[in-house]
Amino acid sequence: MTYVLATTENVLRWYSFVFNEDTGPDSFTLQEKLDLDVIPQFKDKETAAKAAAALGLKTWRYVRLP
């Protein structure tokens, strides 16, 4: 199972970014489609939460993928 980050809107959009030591606030784009080639996947919620914090997100939604 993996997790991805999405917006909290009724129609989800997906956060696309590279998660590394250089990840900073607003260093993401929003994608309309869930393209797993460009949307990072995380092994657990804790790692996904660290990525969200690095991006400066105040709210987000976890989406669990099989």
**pTM over the 0.75 mark:** yes
Domain ranges of the chain: 2-65
> pLDDT for 23-36, tens place per residue?
999 899 999 999 99
CA atoms within 13 A on the CB side of 57: 25
Smallest CA-to-CA distance from 16 within 47, 2, 1, 37 is with 37
Q: What is the pLDDT of residue 26?
A: 85
> pLDDT for 4-62, tens place per residue?
999 999 999 999 999 998 899 989 999 999 999 999 999 999 999 999 999 999 999 99
Read off the amino acid at residue 9.
Answer: E
- What's the token pair of residue 33? 């489609």
